[in-house]
A and B are shown apart, each in its own frame.
Chain A
């Protein structure tokens, strides 16, 4: 299973998460967002970039509870809460945003 973008082949798993984090590009993020029917605003990019930073530091995708907590620390309570994140990513922020960010499915996500 693979995405084809600009002539590049990017393998993904059965749920659409790409298998090699290093293959991620902004174009791929836009493509995946469109598939998820998400219109990427600067607020969406803020979460996606935050997740990529988290992954870079800890080598895992955070559980939603942890993402909320860390977002609160980084951006304050108006962005570090479930409602804000679910408005941006209605099908589950950890799952949807992680997919767009090119991360694996979050550990502890069911």
Chain B
């Protein structure tokens, strides 16, 4: 077994903080994109980066309330989105056009979200250092 690791200082100030935006565009189950995307978000948050998360197109279904995955035999990972707050990730956006097309409102999600139009999101995207779409 290796030597015990060095104890990190509490609340080390972050250096080299970049603005990351993760854009989720696919339904949560059927492919691995949503789950892998969420993992990337968590890792980026664990490294104290400035993280925004966008849900658009069928990606809005990732955070919809009342998911039941028994029939597709996959783990329901929607509760994990509620852990984002603990990772200091609270910039969660949904695209207005996407939720309107699917008959959803801001109250239909497991986490508090800000509803923005495609044009407003484009403005936010222009401010990012890194954008990752999944």
Contacts and interface: CB of A to CB of B under 8 A. Distances in A.
A19 interface: no
Given A68-B10, A107-B42, A108-B42, A62 B5 contact: no
Q: Is the interface of B mostly helix, strand, loop or mixed?
A: loop
A69 interface: yes
Contacts, number: 57
A82 B9 contact: yes
Interface stretch (B23-31, B78-86, B98-106): B78-86
Interface stretch (A5-13, A23-31, A42-50, A84-92): A84-92
B70 interface: no
A63 B46 contact: yes
Interface string A34-75: 000000000000000000000001111011111011100000
Contacts of B10: 68, 81-83
B1 interface: yes
Interface of B: 1-2, 4-5, 7-10, 39, 42-43, 45-48, 75-77, 79-80, 82-83, 86-87
